[in-house]
Structure 1
Amino acid sequence: MNVLEGAKGTVYLRRKIDRFLLDWKADSNRKPLIVKGSRQVGKTAAIRHFASANYRSVVEINFVENPKYRAITQNGYSVDEVVKSMSLLDPTLCFIPHETLIFFDEIQDHPDIATTLKFFRQDGRFDVICSGSMLGISYRTIESNSVGYKTD
């Protein structure tokens, strides 16, 4: 068994996705990433573990726990608009260019966020990972957004 100590002394089980995430980060041409899979398999835990070890700043937006963040695309999909909207909702968020991972979790509750991925890819200041449960149900909506500007 491959067990590591996680944040705050929690136990973290090493998964296949860990190597994939490291390879994704090492790719100089990386695109925003959408992680899809079954519920309760450790997607969020793996992404958090990876993020805390590889980024100076991590901005995590969970659209189920914090539905107010669904409004971040209300004024447009550009990186500046989305970052500004997130900062207005939570001024403590820290966006450090080239050192920040933005993690959009539970995107099945705001599939419109996938439209921003094209702009994040073109802008290049921030890495973006999206994840969510039951993505298979609404993935067709997400799949049509940002074709060529994301990795699934």
Structure 2
Amino acid sequence: MKKRTPLLIHGPRQVGKTWVLKYFGKEHFEDVAYFSLDKDESGLRDIFRTTKDPQRIIQQLSFLHGKKINPQTTLLILDEIQECNEALNTLKYFCFNMVTGFVR
């Protein structure tokens, strides 16, 4: 099993960061789970405020995604993660507590 760790991509607005991640996900993963923390209409930020446990976070994100997020076959994109400090801080738990991490 490959070990994956979170990846943070920084750059100016509107240069294609999200597009390239979605494209990469379609080409190299069975599924892409995309979430934007910019407009938190679904209560997404509350997930990260209530737990730091990656397994529980994945379960809750799977519910919002409408299907199971599999760490080995799903690329998890947390767009605009800087809008939620709790989500950003959770990335270290993905690194340390899970065999497989996720990508932003």
The TM-score normalised by the length of structure 2 is 0.82
Shift of 1:46: 0.5
**One-letter code of the match for 1:76?**
T
- Once the two structures are superposed, what CA deviation does each residue of 1:4-52 show, in whole Å capped at 9, x if it has no partner? xxxxxxxxxxxxxxxxxxxxxxxx5542100000001100001010011
Larger Rg: 1
How many Å separate the matches in 1 of 2:9 and 2:58? 21
The aligned residue for residue 82 of structure 1 is 57
* 4+ residue segments displaced more than 6 Å: none
The aligned residue for residue 8 of structure 1 is none
Identity between Structure 1 and Structure 2 (%): 26
Q: Which runs of 5+ in 2 are unaligned?
A: none
The TM-score normalised by the length of structure 1 is 0.59
RMSD: 1.9
Q: Which runs of 5+ in 1 are unaligned?
A: 1-27, 131-152
SS at match of 2:55: helix
Q: How does 1:70-149 map to 2 (within 5 A)?
A: 70-88=45-63, 90=64, 92-122=66-96, 123-125=98-100, 127-130=101-104
CA contact (8 A) 1:60 1:103 kept: yes
- Which structure's residues are more often strand, by fraction? 1
Shift of 1:86: 1.9
The number of equivalent residue pairs is 101
